[in-house]
Structures are given as structure tokens and as C-alpha cells.
Amino acid sequence: MQKKEKLVIVLCAIATVAAGILHYAEANAVVAFGVTAVALALLAMIVGDATEQLGSRLGPGATGILQSGLGNLPELFVAIFALRAGLAHVVQAALVGSILGNSLLVFGLALFFGGLKNGTQRFKSEPPRMIATLMLLAVSALIVPTLAKELHTPAEPHINKLDIVVAIILLVVLAASIYFSVKGDPAVATQKEEMGEHHAQWPMSLTLGVLAAAGAGAAFVSDWFVEALQPAMKTLGITETFAGLVVVAIAGNAIENLIGIQLAWRNQADYAVSVILNSSLQIALGLFPMLVLLSFVLGGSILTFVLSPLLVVALALAALVSAFVVFDGESIWLEGLSLIGLYAIIAAAFWWG
């Protein structure tokens, strides 16, 4: 285990213990919320590291499956506790915010810093184009229930059933995309030399132990995070939508993908683009539909694909713009800055609710 990984684990342990103390001591909600958000972000990083170590023993295809299944654990726990607390709007905004955060903010930062250091960056366009195409299809599927309701079609009274149908189809597409990745079609596989050789550096017992501890920690911290969320929103005057779209999404997801920015800085553009865009795709095809189905049995509020018009437009813009950026197989820092700007504009539009 490298020194940096040990440091992250120590900092995570300190932040988790501090979050627990603040929670049970019923300390200031804003302070508790900030500390639990830091702990949650560090736990997401540890889960990502442990998943990569486990996957490196099984090959790149298995790594993709593990990342799909385990990489979003902290965000999954946050969403489950939030749904049980009746915060469906926060969960909905957080899921959309994670997609926007990866497709616009993290992707934009990667292109911006990578372009500043390395000039025009070129990457194999087939893998990100396939991801972008699947993302456009997923976003289209997410938009259909909203249109069915807003246009008052005959499907409007059956919107819950339509949500279930859409969720099942998206999960089937996710399973098909995982199979396709494991099969390793050379036309869309990220080149191994670009990714670099990733050998397992942790013993298997340590990998499983860290993964189990991080998963358990994420379950506790997610509960504390959600309990501190409502009073913190009232104190800071933050709306549910903005809290989910920006704060919860970044705490649970975006920091985990800083690796994509680091890869772009090192001029490993192929791997950087695939890692970042795949994160958005996993949320749209996997996490969102899974939570919609779970919401019917959790006993809290029901999560739906029916979004506000502005969220629908924001999703569509993110999918379209990121697809245009990767289509030609090259990027410059100005494109990255434009993506960051678009994310800032969307976030600002939701500041007032």
C-alpha cells in the first residue's frame, strides 16, 4: 500500500470518527454536515481504490463490472437513507447532479488542465463515442416519463408503472453494455498501453478488509449525512434541489473521479475520457433505475423519472455537448472551460430552487 493510500485511509478514519461524535453529540448541523460530507468523499475514494485493486486481479472487464457494482456504494447508501427520510426530490436532484457533475464539471476540468499542460489532446474516438451514444439513449429514456406526464398523455395515470418499465429496460441495457465490455471488442476497447499496467499491490485479505470496512463506514456516514442535511439546508438557506444537484452529488461522486483529471494532466487522454464518461453512464443506466425500483419497497417516498423541465433540459444539454466534444477524437482547453461554464450556469439556475 502506497503512502498516499495510507494517508487517505487515516484521514478517512479521523473524519468518520469526527462525524460520528458530532452526530451523537447533536452538534451544530452545518459543521456536522460539512464533516460528514468530507468523510463520505474520502470513503468514496477508498471504495474506488479497493475496487480497482480487486479488479486488477481479474482483468479489465471484471474491473468494469466491479466498478459498476461497487463504485457507487456511498451514493447508493445516501440515496436509500434519503428516500426513507422522504427526500425524494433531493435524491432525484443528486442523481441528475452526479451525471452533470461528471459529464460537465469533472470532464471539463480534465480537458481544461490536460489541454493547458499538453496542448491539443487526441484520443481514440470509438470508445467515448459508444459511451456518448448510450448516454444519449439513456437520457432519452429518462425524459420519456416526464413528457408522458407534462403532455397529459394516456400514460399519465400509470406513471409509476411506466417508471418500472423504463427502469427494467435501462438495467437490461446496462447488463448488455457490461457483457460487451467484458467481451472486449478491440474497436471500442481502451488501449492497454494507454491505461498502463495495473497490478494488484494490496494482499487479497487487505483488499477485502478495506472494502468491507469502507462499505460499512459508508452506510453509517450516509445515515449521519442525511440526518444533518435537512437542518443544514434550513440554516444555510439552500433549497432541496440545489443541495441534491450540487452539494450531495459532489460529496458522493465527483471527488472519486479526480483520477480522470489526473490522467488528463498526464496526457493519458483515452483512459481519462473513458473513466469520466463511464461514471455518468453507470448512474444513468444503473444507479438511477435501481433506486427507482428499490423506492417501491423501502417504505419511504417513491422515486420517479418525472423531472422538472429545467432538469430535463440540463440532462439533454450535458449529453449532447459531451457527445459533440468527443466526436472528433481531440480536445483543447477551451472546450473544457466551456463545459465548466455550462455547469456553473446550470448550478446557478437552481440556486433559487
pTM: 0.81
| Start-to-end CA span in the chain (Å) | 44
Q: Which residues pair with 331 in a beta bridge?
A: 121
Residue with the bigger pLDDT between 247 and 54: it is: 247
Confidence band of 70 (pLDDT split at 50, 70, 90): low
Whether the CB-CB separation of 108 and 340 falls below 8 Å is answered with: yes
Read off the pLDDT of residues 145-156 as tens digits, 9 standing for 90 and up. Answer: 999 998 989 988
Q: Please tell me what DSSP assigns to residue 158.
A: G
Whether pLDDT at 68 is above 90: no
Read off the pLDDT of residues 161-185 as tens digits, 9 standing for 90 and up. Answer: 999 999 999 999 988 887 776 666 5
pLDDT at 191: 46
pLDDT at 1: 66
Average pLDDT, the chain: 82
- Average pLDDT of span 101-123: 89
Q: Please tell me what DSSP assigns to residue 291.
A: H
Whether pLDDT at 67 is above 60: no
- Alpha helices, DSSP H, located in the chain: 3-24, 29-56, 60-70, 73-84, 88-100, 107-118, 126-150, 159-183, 192-195, 204-236, 240-242, 249-252, 258-265, 269-282, 288-298, 309-327, 333-349
Q: Please tell me what DSSP assigns to residue 151.
A: T
Whether pLDDT at 255 is above 60: no
Whether pLDDT at 199 is above 80: no
Q: Which domain holds residue 273?
A: 3-349
Highest mean pLDDT among 4-8, 118-122, 340-344: 340-344
Whether pLDDT at 192 is above 50: no
Report the percent of the chain where pLDDT is more than 70. 86
CA distance 142 to 169: 11
Q: How many domains does the chain have?
A: 1
